[in-house]
């Protein structure tokens, strides 16, 4: 009898646990405040000049992205005004802070199945923790030439130039311009395609991927050099 009561009590407690949608709704005001701050940062960034030479900032704590002790997130310049905006070149790297902005916004990508799960307590803690992130890395694409396929064996080279910024969210949203980062397509690309696929489309995709990997490599190097942080993306 006691065991039966315990099972009923457990089921009742689970049924009363807050849903993910409840946690998201609860956190919307705090993320709305952050959105307003990000919009002001976006207005200030174009007037922030790059340093004459690479220099390492004296930061404590050091930035960390993509790890269990993350205190940093990554956002494109376009997303400062609208987190759903499409960057000129998307690095496809985001952490809990950006996901919080997406989930609490007007066009949340969260599926109904996720919203209905009764994990609201844990999700609220995750969203609150993300608001404690110390830094935001902003990447701004200032030049982009996409690779152009000529035929199934040849493409015209592409290149991209970005500028990197670090925002100290705990220090008055101070903006530091870090460095430029450039990438280019590989001089030659091997690719595979399945029967029925357009080889030109596959070549275009592979050429673009070499451009992406090239600039990503330089971004990692420049961020490590100028901030002393660790970035896993």
Widest CA span in the chain: 77
pTM for the full model? Answer: 0.88
* pLDDT, tens digit, 9 for 90 and up, residues 112-151: 999 999 999 999 999 999 999 999 999 999 999 999 988 8
Contact of 219 with 229, CB cutoff 8 Å: no
* pLDDT, tens digit, 9 for 90 and up, residues 63-72: 999 999 999 9
CA distance 184 to 166: 24
Q: Which residue has the higher pLDDT, 71 or 13?
A: 71
* pLDDT, tens digit, 9 for 90 and up, residues 19-38: 999 999 999 999 999 999 99
Q: Is 92 left (phi over 0), alpha (psi -120 to 50) or beta?
A: left
């Amino acid at each position: 009898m006691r065991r039966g009561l315990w099972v009923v009590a457990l089921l009742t407690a689970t049924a009363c646990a807050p849903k993910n949608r409840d946690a998201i709704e609860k956190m919307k005001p705090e993320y709305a405040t952050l959105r307003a701050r990000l919009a002001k940062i976006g207005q200030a960034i174009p007037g922030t000049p790059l340093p004459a030479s690479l220099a390492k900032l004296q930061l404590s704590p050091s930035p960390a992205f993509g790890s269990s002790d993350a205190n940093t997130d990554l956002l494109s310049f376009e997303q400062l005004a609208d987190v759903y905006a499409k960057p000129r070149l998307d690095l496809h790297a985001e952490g809990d802070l950006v996901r919080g902005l997406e989930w609490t916004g007007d066009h949340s990508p969260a599926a109904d199945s996720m919203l209905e799960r009764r994990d609201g307590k844990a999700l609220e803690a995750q969203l609150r923790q993300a608001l404690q992130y110390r830094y935001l890395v902003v990447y701004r694409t200032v030049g982009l030439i996409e690779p152009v396929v000529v035929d199934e064996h040849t493409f015209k080279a592409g290149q991209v130039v970005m500028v990197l910024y670090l925002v100290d969210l705990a220090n008055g949203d101070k903006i530091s311009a870090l460095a430029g980062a450039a990438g280019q397509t590989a001089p030659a690309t091997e690719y595979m395609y399945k029967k029925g696929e357009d080889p030109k489309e596959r070549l275009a995709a592979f050429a673009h991927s070499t451009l992406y990997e090239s600039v990503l490599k330089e971004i990692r190097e420049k961020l490590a050099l100028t901030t002393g942080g660790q970035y896993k993306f």
